[in-house]
Structure 1
């Protein structure tokens, strides 16, 4: 039976009202930081679900937040990071005098070798400068007793399982023959052989053939470098695919012709290293990956000279990556390329040469311990703040790295509770055969779960026994048995080799139909609700975002925005195209607030950066009603992020009032969303207040068909349609609205970056935009009833009763849309025998469901950076 879900995690962020008050008003400029500003565990923290890792901020002179983005030159620290030293000490003695553990470390983190016992603990971190340690204040935390606590082993345990022989990464030498025999009957075996045989008979292209002519026409150096990087990856990624297929074919067969073809390619690609047409960290990672794979896989066939040549390249490339990661990555909010791929590649390379390249001792230590301290999730709820498109780029990292550690140590790294949350994120943000929830760069492209996403649920179902993930996988493979082949040799997401290694069957048990109607990820700031898990074709879905991460990295400035779907296809949906981080259209019409189903204040949007944040103060998921609140009161204003200001400067992008950013006048923006059972009806209530009279603009967008708009005496009716469904939005407001619809972007979408193999730049699709703008008022309220339904069954319009209440379906709504009085709504079901209602009067929210009453007040999510 489905259970009602109400989960809240309390953090320790500054706010004005006490926990006794129902509403928390945050005053923080940001909840998250590009680089760590707080230690972990925080003072007075409680640790109960995993072993303690100590982390603390970097010194200001090395605190560089820049990511390695295509076309953007990274900042350089002022200090040699390799010479940094720290100390950390901890004890159960508050004075730190007795039974103290004192540790020297070269990084701003430390993982105790054994889990700390339950009780109160005290700790300090210190910066070692000129032989003296500058200590922090003493911090206290409590470790709770929990037999299910995730406590991975120390590095020495992992290394005790590392063979001295080769191969040792993609297959262990002592298991090699059994692996070959077992794999021969697997479907994936033949997939690899087919690609390898084709590659063995294909000539390599010349690196001189990389087409960079388009760069000459671009208007700034950042764009030019981005295009060169992309065009070089077109050639290098293809050769990486061919060479990796040959190496894996050798491991599957021990046929030397695959070795000969692969090693020739590897040596040729090494010669490309300094070519002017080769740019970007992913290309550098390709060189490191292929050299380390070849060294480990072909070890017994290599001459001493070849081993030395490969080791030289591994040392060079690995050294570059370590120099970049060291004393930066561990404190970064989420450096995309590193967590996506380059850390995984660096990790496997480090273990492949451990004991044979002196530098690998430090590399292995760093890779393993930074994983324990920071990964796999970067937050605890299992969500992914960068959105659905970029989530799958992390797939091999999320599976292969912990699987390798599990194999070496015998410890189950997938017992990390984060993975169960990640399964829920994967399913609820994108049900089978459905469009993604619509958050993060490039979400437009994710029209159904790709083969990488299904490979991920397949792997986690086998590794964790999660039957929801198993059902998600089966539903796809029953319709398309070879669907997983589409991910074969995909750099971020090919798990075919994993399936050859781990041949556990998919578990049996509860399927998707047993899931609750909704799920909320408070630390990530996401929520979604469904009406029908059994039939995608009849499922009405709404997704919502109000996130502490703001709009940095691949996240968008869409706090308190929602998207609606029917039959797996979008209806009201975020607009614009992600061309690159540094493109005018991408910033002004895809990342910026004007692109999303939320609110503009005086025509101005939310800040770019972590400062443009929202959060989810309260939520409830039951069997007959669902509820979530987003607070974007702190999201608006001028862009103040040093990182994004510098990116704008390099790329000639202007965060001016003309483009949508100005002084902030917003005091309150709370959006309440009530899912009215599985009817397809959703009620949305916006509380808005400013420090002076402003205009309030309510935004809706579509990307499939134009919207229709009808203005009635009591509301504005906006309809979005797709092939099989519609969302009818009935918009009520404090006063008469001025409405506008357009099919024009604020800045046209021009494809200057993504050419096909023939050099053609395909145009981007058009989108449609609706704006309803109020007169200038300090306090304003919108109320929206959205009916998402089959197109063949038109929605009945709301009935306005004599007393002003609204009747929609089997629900009665009383709501204050006046600017006077307190914000309020009361909604109840009129179904016979159904005791369901929700009450909000500006304080707590009270949900009543079948005789049980739940009072919801604000709770802060647990945040760590």
Structure 2
């Protein structure tokens, strides 16, 4: 008996500890909510409307929507939508709450929430008409639709079975109640308010236990919808603030979650691990609540780093055409008017002309629909009403940094000319700490490439409905991504623990280096899973995969496209063609004959019957190592170009290397030499170069040589020799008469660097005079660097005679 008591006592102690922690957490949350309620009580006037419209706005709003906008050619059509037709449309019956998960069930599930959304939006539109016209006909129509919604039997089972039906009727119903408040009789207000109270109480009980105001929320497959629903709880609390005792607590709790913890799927960098689609449709919900609170004088959440940075997530990853990206429903995702409006809102909020330009690049039109997942016509009309209060100058996106890391979610975007559809080349690279949870997929260390207006290397697969056999058995899997399989196996799906990480990111003006580590994502299948990517001269990529397993395996390097690929196994060459865009892929290591190539246009799990026309087959290429091995390195060059532009073509070859890997790429701009070291030794010994560095690029451009050096301590090349006491990263250029270098990260305190240079400097800028010295006897230049040192410019004492000194500037 004593032996049995010990584990029971331990479990009981653990349960008590958990209970105490939860109780303390709940007490902390209550205290935070109570303080926020006290702050709001003094500011929130007991008047309607309160959601996105204030009584003081009504005269100007009427003039804008009824007079100004209808008179302007570019807004006249949208302005007509401000007043819904008074056509006595029949009221639809309450839709059945049917579960998602099968083909037929999903169809009924979608029909249910669509009816709910349409019904709610009818009430909302007539409530807007009441505010604009103060006409009893609009007031009575708003009341008719509101009372119909209130009559629906909405209970916990509806919320459990079809949460979209629940939320999509509720949110516009809240707006309609607030905007049509004065058009309702006291009895009607009581009826509608009672229905809202009951539904918001269910909503609060559903979502509040899942989120803490004081502790971060761990990624979970069940949290995507509940987090989006926080906004509706907040809006409901704000609308009922003076009408319902529980309402102040709902709005205060929602506001504080946005202010303290939001979001689950990203962080300060502004990323969204579920992908662009879920970012775009979710942010419309979150921003409605936060804009409503801002108009009431509460704007702390919008000042947080996440909200300052999140518009850049779309700016860098959403192409101005149907490009491919990561996450659910983003295989071929075109920009939408709703997304354009969202970026314009952020642009005006932050007074940032670049965001304004990004939004206009996505769409020149404003949204005109009435649905749940996007901004609609009402949002567009209110935005136009307020937009005149702020003006921004024009800006060009290509002036922004070409590469950006969202370290919160482990996504990197690399652009050649950001915002230029015709000439931009873009790679998205992912190695995410969020793993494959929720609407993220099992695609750590994967990439997509979009170029010249076309999706080239794509994230494969579709979603007929959530967790369909195809969606779960193909789209979510590593096999459907531009990633690595080991022995035909990839990363587990729907697991937050199947994570990757960006181990190194370094972005210069001309080149970018990224290192992804996906070892943890393979759940023991690989002991090493590194993918190095070097974006060279803003036009192509060199990629090195370092793979190792505990036992000998074959490794598969995957590539997916919308069109059939050209494969030339005699050259280790693959080409993707889409429209006039091409992606040439050269495999330089392993050597010829050691890779087997195959492709198919069949999905491992086909799309469901009836979806084939909307979801056509895609093409899937596998380059597989022929021999099993415990470790394998794969060096590839991915060169996008345009068909018919001979200057875009390249000649690619491997260079001999005793340590590390080396390649030469010749194209119209010049010749590039690229070097990448193995991660464990960071040593490069190849083709006239001897360096202790992680990676290097030297590009010959006429008399100039451009360079990028990543984590370098020593560099010995025919034109350049230097040593540093501590690791540095730099970019620059040199020629016969000058050496320019810019440090990409602050030099560590106490760093010294020594150059061999044939003559003393005539000028040396970037450090004080007493921080450098030239040794005439040894021909060495010693420079003391400080953390504030950002650049060096060395100009020799006199012009060199190339015949007299073949290495005139350096050494």
Same fold (TM over 0.5): yes
For residues 291 and 551 of structure 1, the distance between their equivalents in structure 2, rounded to whole angstroms, comes to 35
Residue 498 to residue 384, structure 1, CA distance change in 2 (3 Å): farther
Secondary structure of the structure 1 residue equivalent to 2:422: helix
* Residue 234, structure 1, aligned to residue 86, structure 2: no
Q: Counterparts in 2 of 1:173-572, with a 5 A limit?
A: 173-187=55-69, 194-195=80-81, 199-201=85-87, 203-204=89-90, 206-207=92-93, 225-273=105-153, 280-330=162-212, 331=217, 333=219, 335-340=223-228, 342-375=229-262, 378-409=266-297, 411=299, 413-431=301-319, 433-447=320-334, 449-476=335-362, 480=364, 483-486=365-368, 490-494=372-376, 495-500=379-384, 502-503=386-387, 504-508=389-393, 510-533=395-418, 535-572=420-457
CA deviation string 1:824-852 (max 9, x = no partner): 75432122323313357999784433423
Contact 2:588 2:653 in 1 (8 A): no
**Structure 1 residues not aligned, in runs of 5+:** 1-58, 64-78, 89-102, 114-153, 638-663, 755-760, 858-865
* Residue 105, structure 1, aligned to residue 43, structure 2: no
Aligned partner of 2:587 among 728, 731, 734: 731
The match for 2:48 is 166
* Residue 797, structure 1, aligned to residue 651, structure 2: yes
The match for 1:614 is 500
Q: Counterparts in 2 of 1:748-759, with a 5 A limit?
A: 748-750=606-608
**Structure 2 residues not aligned, in runs of 5+:** 1-13, 685-693, 715-726, 734-740, 748-811
Distance apart, 1:749 and its partner CA: 0.8
For residues 34 and 177 of structure 2, the distance between their equivalents in structure 1, rounded to whole angstroms, comes to 33
Q: Counterparts in 2 of 1:571-610, with a 5 A limit?
A: 571-608=456-493, 609-610=495-496
Aligned partner of 1:709 among 563, 567, 581: 567
Report 1 or 2 for greater relative contact order, CA contacts < 8 Å, sequence distance ≥ 6: 1
* Residue 687, structure 1, aligned to residue 543, structure 2: no
Q: Counterparts in 2 of 1:149-160, with a 5 A limit?
A: 154-160=36-42
Secondary structure of the structure 2 residue equivalent to 1:623: coil
The match for 2:576 is 720
The match for 2:764 is none
Residue 768 to residue 186, structure 1, CA distance change in 2 (3 Å): farther
**RMSD over aligned Cα, in angstroms?**
3.5
Contact 1:742 1:769 in 2 (8 A): yes
Which has the higher Rg, Structure 1 or Structure 2? 2
Contact 1:192 1:245 in 2 (8 A): no
For residues 101 and 482 of structure 2, the distance between their equivalents in structure 1, rounded to whole angstroms, comes to 34
For residues 627 and 820 of structure 1, the distance between their equivalents in structure 2, rounded to whole angstroms, comes to 17
Distance apart, 1:734 and its partner CA: 3.2
Distance apart, 1:417 and its partner CA: 2.7
Contact 1:618 1:629 in 2 (8 A): yes
Moved more, 489-498 or 284-293: 489-498
Aligned partner of 2:664 among 782, 807, 829: 807
Distance apart, 1:195 and its partner CA: 3.9
The match for 2:697 is 827
The match for 2:791 is none
For residues 112 and 266 of structure 1, the distance between their equivalents in structure 2, rounded to whole angstroms, comes to 32
Flag the structure with higher strand content: 2
For residues 164 and 818 of structure 1, the distance between their equivalents in structure 2, rounded to whole angstroms, comes to 64
Secondary structure of the structure 1 residue equivalent to 2:412: strand
For residues 631 and 175 of structure 1, the distance between their equivalents in structure 2, rounded to whole angstroms, comes to 53
Distance apart, 1:412 and its partner CA: 6.0
For residues 260 and 353 of structure 1, the distance between their equivalents in structure 2, rounded to whole angstroms, comes to 21
CA deviation string 1:797-828 (max 9, x = no partner): 31455779532132113457999997975432
For residues 802 and 485 of structure 1, the distance between their equivalents in structure 2, rounded to whole angstroms, comes to 57
Contact 1:199 1:242 in 2 (8 A): no
CA deviation string 1:717-770 (max 9, x = no partner): 111111121110101233501211111110101157x8xxxxxx8552110000
Residue 509 to residue 633, structure 1, CA distance change in 2 (3 Å): same
Q: Number of matched residues? A: 677
Distance apart, 1:487 and its partner CA: 5.1
Residue 743 to residue 796, structure 1, CA distance change in 2 (3 Å): same
For residues 147 and 613 of structure 2, the distance between their equivalents in structure 1, rounded to whole angstroms, comes to 35
Residue 252 to residue 565, structure 1, CA distance change in 2 (3 Å): same
For residues 456 and 181 of structure 1, the distance between their equivalents in structure 2, rounded to whole angstroms, comes to 24
Secondary structure of the structure 1 residue equivalent to 2:187: helix
Residue 510 to residue 178, structure 1, CA distance change in 2 (3 Å): closer
* Residue 785, structure 1, aligned to residue 637, structure 2: yes
Moved more, 411-420 or 262-271: 411-420
TM normalised by structure 2 equals 0.76
Distance apart, 1:533 and its partner CA: 3.1
Secondary structure of the structure 1 residue equivalent to 2:374: coil
Distance apart, 1:193 and its partner CA: 6.0
CA deviation string 1:648-667 (max 9, x = no partner): xxxxxxxxxxxxxxxx3311
TM normalised by structure 1 equals 0.72
The match for 1:747 is 605
Contact 2:143 2:183 in 1 (8 A): no
Moved more, 836-845 or 201-210: 836-845
For residues 407 and 190 of structure 2, the distance between their equivalents in structure 1, rounded to whole angstroms, comes to 50
Contact 1:559 1:614 in 2 (8 A): yes
Distance apart, 1:369 and its partner CA: 1.6
Secondary structure of the structure 1 residue equivalent to 2:314: helix
Contact 2:497 2:521 in 1 (8 A): yes
Residue 806 to residue 411, structure 1, CA distance change in 2 (3 Å): closer
Q: Counterparts in 2 of 1:618-657, with a 5 A limit?
A: 618-637=504-523
Contact 1:110 1:373 in 2 (8 A): no
Residue 356 to residue 599, structure 1, CA distance change in 2 (3 Å): same
For residues 445 and 186 of structure 1, the distance between their equivalents in structure 2, rounded to whole angstroms, comes to 38
For residues 328 and 577 of structure 1, the distance between their equivalents in structure 2, rounded to whole angstroms, comes to 30
Contact 2:96 2:112 in 1 (8 A): yes
* Residue 838, structure 1, aligned to residue 726, structure 2: no
CA deviation string 1:210-243 (max 9, x = no partner): 798xx9xxxx976665443212123222223333
Residue 820 to residue 400, structure 1, CA distance change in 2 (3 Å): closer
For residues 583 and 322 of structure 1, the distance between their equivalents in structure 2, rounded to whole angstroms, comes to 30
Contact 1:199 1:243 in 2 (8 A): no
Secondary structure of the structure 1 residue equivalent to 2:433: coil
CA deviation string 1:373-432 (max 9, x = no partner): 22257411011111011111123234222222222126465332323321221110014x
Residue 61 to residue 407, structure 1, CA distance change in 2 (3 Å): farther
* Residue 765, structure 1, aligned to residue 622, structure 2: no
Contact 2:546 2:632 in 1 (8 A): yes
For residues 85 and 532 of structure 1, the distance between their equivalents in structure 2, rounded to whole angstroms, comes to 50
For residues 553 and 162 of structure 1, the distance between their equivalents in structure 2, rounded to whole angstroms, comes to 37
Secondary structure of the structure 2 residue equivalent to 1:784: strand
Secondary structure of the structure 2 residue equivalent to 1:156: helix
Contact 1:619 1:856 in 2 (8 A): no
